[in-house]
């Protein structure tokens, strides 16, 4: 390596991979090296290290010309990243990262990390774990402050509904988060960008990234923006105390339709965080499907979604 010249360095393994592909497409074959620090933790917040691309001195000038030809210069003369795939997401979440590497980390699915031969790409599972805790804490705090008349059981029901896989997946869909996920080829081919469980995981990782980048107040502000309307609906309608399975059964009986049937269609995730996927059917027709940490919660959410379909525009 001593005879080679470093022509590109980035803290973003994804960006370095883009540049490597660009050079190889133009006949320049770079050598990839990494300065990622060793750590007992699965990721490093303050220093994600550098990925360096080096070429033979005879190819250095041509490599730099190729790279510069694909950069974008602002009026100030500042050179921005070759690919800023997260600009739209930052606008959607109304938060701009100081360390964009954290956002990239949050959007990196394990399938993408597993396909990276350099070992420099880390998946978002640890961020997902942290985001789940941050979200749970902030939602519990908001319920404690805004719903003083609710008992523990009522607060727990509201919290379970708000942090369910289905709800988080829908929130992620609203932000078009799936468009920004970094997936492996296999996950891409099987429709990973549309899978609710995968979207929910990315959403939790996003919350963790905001927390690590801006602190708890920025994370709280984001969660308040995201869930404010739903909490307002709860306050207005008393949603927390409703048994959606009973409500669905009553609605169907009033319409002289058969009783609903709940079917477990799949499970996912590790044993300590297993998710259950449940469909609700009426006379063989599937009305809705949901995912939850227990079959009971998944059935309740599926019933709620079925009621929304049967009574559009009405609050169940």
State the CATH number of the domain containing residue 296.
Answer: 3.30.160.20
In the three-class reduction of DSSP (H, G, I as helix; E, B as strand; rest coil), residue 175 is classed as coil
Are 235 and 253 members of one domain?
no
Domain count, the chain: 3
HSE-up of 210 (CA within 13 Å, CB side)? 24
Is residue 265 in a domain?
yes
Residue 218 backbone class (left: φ over 0; alpha: ψ -120 to 50; beta: rest)? alpha
**Can 132 be counted among the known catalytic residues?**
yes
Are 252 and 233 members of one domain?
no
Choosing from 15, 104, 123, 132, which is the catalytic residue?
A: 132
CB contact at 8 A, 71 and 79:
yes
**Can 204 be counted among the known catalytic residues?**
yes
Q: Which residues of the chain register pLDDT less than 50?
A: 1, 36-48, 72-83, 240-241, 315-316
Are 236 and 207 members of one domain?
yes
Is residue 93 in a domain?
no
According to the model, what pLDDT value does residue 47 have?
43
β-strand partners of 50: none
* pLDDT tens, residue by residue, 125-145: 999 999 999 999 999 999 999
- Which residue, of 241, 262, 295, is where some domain finishes? 241
According to the model, what pLDDT value does residue 280 have?
95
* pLDDT tens, residue by residue, 76-120: 444 444 445 788 899 999 999 988 889 999 999 999 888 876 666
Bridging pattern class, strands 31-34 and 51-55: antiparallel
Choosing from 201, 204, 226, 299, which is the catalytic residue?
A: 204
Are 145 and 223 members of one domain?
yes
CA distance 261 to 252: 12
The CATH code of the domain that includes 14 is 3.30.70.1530
pTM: 0.59
Are 268 and 205 members of one domain?
no
Are 233 and 262 members of one domain?
no
Q: Which domain holds residue 284?
A: 244-310
According to the model, what pLDDT value does residue 68 have?
76
Are 224 and 304 members of one domain?
no
CA distance 204 to 124: 9
β-strand partners of 54: 6, 31
Are 221 and 282 members of one domain?
no
Are 143 and 215 members of one domain?
yes
Are 141 and 214 members of one domain?
yes
């Amino acid at each position: 390596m001593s005879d080679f010249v470093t022509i590109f360095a980035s803290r973003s393994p994804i960006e370095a991979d883009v540049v490597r592909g660009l050079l190889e497409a133009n006949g320049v074959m770079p050598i990839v090296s990494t300065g990622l620090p060793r750590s007992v933790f699965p990721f490093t917040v303050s220093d994600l290290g550098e990925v360096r691309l080096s070429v033979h001195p005879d190819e250095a000038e041509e490599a730099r010309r190729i790279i510069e030809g694909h950069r974008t210069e602002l009026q100030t003369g500042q050179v921005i990243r070759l690919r800023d795939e997260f600009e739209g997401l930052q606008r959607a979440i109304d938060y701009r990262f100081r360390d964009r590497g954290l956002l990239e980390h949050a959007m990196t699915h394990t399938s993408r990390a597993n396909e990276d031969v350099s070992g420099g790409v880390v998946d978002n599972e640890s961020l997902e774990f942290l985001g789940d805790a941050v979200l749970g804490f902030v939602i519990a705090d908001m319920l404690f402050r805004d719903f003083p008349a609710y008992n523990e059981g009522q607060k727990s029901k509201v919290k379970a509904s708000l942090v369910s896989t289905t709800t988080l997946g829908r929130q992620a869909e609203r932000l078009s988060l799936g468009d920004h996920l970094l997936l492996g080829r296999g996950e891409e081919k099987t429709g990973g960008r549309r899978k609710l469980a995968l979207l929910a995981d990315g959403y939790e990782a996003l919350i963790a990234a905001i927390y690590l980048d801006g602190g708890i107040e920025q994370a709280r502000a984001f969660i308040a923006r995201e869930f404010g309307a739903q909490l307002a609906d709860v306050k207005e309608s008393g949603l927390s105390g409703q048994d959606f399975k009973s409500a669905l059964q009553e609605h169907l009986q009033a319409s002289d339709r058969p009783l609903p049937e709940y079917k477990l269609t799949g499970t996912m995730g590790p044993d300590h965080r297993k998710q259950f996927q449940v469909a609700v059917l009426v006379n063989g027709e599937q009305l809705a499907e949901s995912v939850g940490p227990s079959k009971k919660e998944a059935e309740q959410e599926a019933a709620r979604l079925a009621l929304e379909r049967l009574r559009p525009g009405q609050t169940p």
